[in-house]
Structure 1
């Protein structure tokens, strides 16, 4: 049977690598660089994904989206926010229409 990859598995891997030495783990080196640097990397990757989408570059979008998800999970790790909390928030929000949910946030 083939192992199935998931965002949960990636979050677990990131948590594990957070305990590694920075010279052996890009994740650890990102965490050591601080929240601002992690957020900047996340923003850069999100921008690159947006550009790939606008350019209709499917391969580029796929690769940049993977970078976005990875850097988001590192940002969550840094912030002490478990992925499950985000999933729970998404589940809560999908109990109503998007317009209703946005209105409930005052936006």
Structure 2
């Protein structure tokens, strides 16, 4: 696996950032929706034909799948050559660099999927708390965060 490529502020381990990051991104997406600036890519996704944003979600999801396959292949190559005395240290370092690059690409594509998914949710008025409640509803009571919101049972739908 790749070494971590982010640096916590102050260089110290920090609490998870994903909640604050998703909230900030959600706020930006919602603001772009309200602003109505047709020059904004986000606004055009929110108000244009639904096929446009759905195509982006599908495209980005496919890119995540391909990037994950590349990352797996790179990691397998590194594992296969660990401890190999017939390979130079430079060649091993090159494999490790390729593996790190593959993980970087996976992270990049995953962020694209999340962004476009949040745009779809905003387009249909599903806010982050409602989305979180859906995720929380899929966990057992012992797995859920304490005090977590849940979907009202009448709205729990599993497929069509």
TM-score higher than 0.5: yes
Mean Cα deviation higher: 26-35 or 42-51: 26-35
Separation in structure 2 between the aligned mates of residue 22 and residue 95 of structure 1, nearest angstrom: 43
Displacement of 1:35 after TM fit?
Answer: 1.7
Structure 1 residue runs of 5 or longer lacking an equivalent are: 97-103
Which residue of the partner structure matches residue 44 of structure 2?
Answer: 29
Displacement of 1:80 after TM fit?
Answer: 1.1
Which residue of the partner structure matches residue 25 of structure 2?
Answer: 10
1:6 partner SS = helix
Separation in structure 2 between the aligned mates of residue 105 and residue 26 of structure 1, nearest angstrom: 32
1:55 partner SS = helix
Mean Cα deviation higher: 49-58 or 87-96: 87-96
Q: Is structure 2 residue 104 aligned with structure 1 residue 59?
A: yes
Q: Is structure 2 residue 134 aligned with structure 1 residue 89?
A: yes
Judged with a 3 Å threshold, the aligned counterparts in structure 2 of structure 1 residues 31 and 105 are, in CA distance, closer, same or farther, namely closer
Q: Is the 1:21–1:28 contact (alpha carbons within 8 Å) kept by the matching residues of 2?
A: yes
Structure 2 residue runs of 5 or longer lacking an equivalent are: 1-8, 10-16, 72-101, 142-156
Q: Which has the larger radius of gyration?
A: 2
Separation in structure 1 between the aligned mates of residue 127 and residue 50 of structure 2, nearest angstrom: 16
